[in-house]
Chains A and B, each alone.
Chain A
């Protein structure tokens, strides 16, 4: 049995849990505790809110989806997750410009950890206040080859599209490496 994984990361409340929930065949296993206040309060850096979802491909292959917060203090988790990871998705709440700086930081941190391809999901595009993906591309200073995709985490089709685009990027990367040989 081969297991591969993808990581869904991004600022608090970007829609990571929802994203995994929309596509996972099991109910999302979430270690996240309900937090009463609006801000995220994780006092103990060793307890990490993490989601876990699964998509079975066949008897011999399964894809795991991990949702993990992007904050610095979870760096040690990232270390664990990035090993053997296929690729990752950075989720951004397109309606919350106050989180874009954080998203950029997450993106840059995680990019430095793993040489795997990633895509950015401009989430909550169903809301009126959502920034357009191409405006986000500029604000987040994405390189041209990094895809930014419109997403509504509650809509399975857009979630599928994000994962597929990530997989296409991974395929391109593999082909590039093979060609170089």
Chain B
């Protein structure tokens, strides 16, 4: 089934969070004003990404961008390598001693990350996730954990409004998720983020954490948003108002209740037997 929409309605971090948590495999394509990008995932890990025309993402170009090949070298190799897959080309370059395997891995990885970080700046664009679609086997794929990518993405978030909307209330508390696979140790956090992490505790509100660390509302929202999306922490709901909280005694309410024969609002919770009867009735409908 479909997983599509517009980036206007989701942040890229939100989508990555979804892919990460649901351990999805497939390819996410995004189109924006004639610009297009793709990211591929295997079991929730980012394995490949590119933006723009295919030839800009040729291995020779990537190695050139990473400073491993000169411009001339890159151009010649790219011309000669027509019809050769990135993987084959990589093997060839390694065998001839031009370059090491770790150079290739690092450069490709950096190219993937650069692409994704650029995507974080797209405020809109149609996206579509094609489940189980993966890059052809000739591409070099490198699995990258999404948690770190998400954290870095939120560091680059500039839109105050999105954060405000996602985290309207700073008087709520956080706790660490007990997801067994939340890998705090694999994530690189900034000093500020570590400070915030050290204050995460069901008794400290986000606002208190911000005060303690001299962070502005924007800064604390950005950090907490990143940690939420990366699945490190979760929100503890604020205590609900008690049911007997001063209810508005508007005449409208009384009228409506009377008209519809509803029980007195302040009546105790319904009995178990009532619920059981409702279940039986609805089953039989």
Residues of chain A at the chain B interface (Cβ within 8 Å) = 1-5, 23, 52, 55, 57-58, 61-64, 76, 79-80, 83-84, 86, 95, 97-98, 100-101, 111-115, 128-132, 134-135, 138-139, 141, 156, 160, 163-164, 167-168, 170-171, 174-175, 177-178
Contacts and interface: CB of A to CB of B under 8 A. Distances in A.
Contact of B17 (A100, A114, A138): A138
B185 interface: no
B282 A171 contact: no
B240 A160 contact: no
A132 B283 contact: no
B275 A167 contact: yes
B18 A138 contact: yes
14 contacts: A23-B285, A57-B277, A57-B278, A63-B281, A79-B247, A84-B263, A84-B266, A97-B5, A113-B241, A114-B240, A129-B2, A134-B22, A138-B21, A174-B269
A61 B199 CA distance: 51
Contacts of A101: 9, 165
Given A4-B263, A98-B9, A163-B282, A61 B248 contact: no
A23 B282 CA distance: 9
A141 B267 CA distance: 32
B176 to A, nearest CB: 15
Interface of B: 1-6, 8-10, 14, 17-18, 21-22, 165, 235, 237-238, 240-241, 243, 247-248, 250, 252-253, 256-257, 260-267, 269-270, 272, 274-279, 281-283, 285
Contact of B279 (A52, A141, A164): A164
Given A1-B261, A57-B278, A112-B241, A171 B165 contact: no
B137 to A, nearest CB: 28
B8 A98 contact: yes
Nearest to A168: B279
A57 B237 CA distance: 35
Contact of B238 (A55, A86, A112, A178): A112
Given A138-B21, A160-B282, A171 B275 contact: yes
Contacts of B8: 98
Contacts of B269: 174, 177
A4 B256 contact: no
Contact of B262 (A5, A23, A112): A5
Given A64-B260, A80-B252, A135-B18, A86 B270 contact: yes
A86 B279 CA distance: 13
Given A83-B265, A84-B267, A97-B5, A174 B165 contact: no
Contact of B9 (A23, A63, A97, A113): A97
B24 to A, nearest CB: 9
A-B residue pairs, 9 tightest by C-beta: A97-B5, A83-B265, A57-B281, A80-B253, A84-B265, A129-B2, A98-B9, A138-B18, A167-B279
A130 B237 contact: no
A160 to B, nearest CB: 6
B10 A97 contact: yes
Contacts of A55: 281-282, 285
Contacts of A1: 261
Contacts of B238: 112
A156 B256 CA distance: 28
Contact of A4 (B6, B247, B278): B278
B1 A131 contact: yes
Contacts of B278: 4, 57, 61, 63, 86, 167
Given A101-B9, A171-B272, A174-B269, 15 more contacts: A4-B274, A52-B260, A63-B278, A79-B247, A79-B253, A83-B265, A86-B278, A98-B9, A100-B10, A112-B241, A131-B2, A131-B3, A134-B22, A168-B279, A174-B275
Contacts of A113: 241
Nearest to A157: B285
A167 B273 CA distance: 12
B248 A76 contact: yes
A61 B274 contact: yes
Given A138-B22, A174-B275, A128 B267 contact: no
A113 B277 CA distance: 26
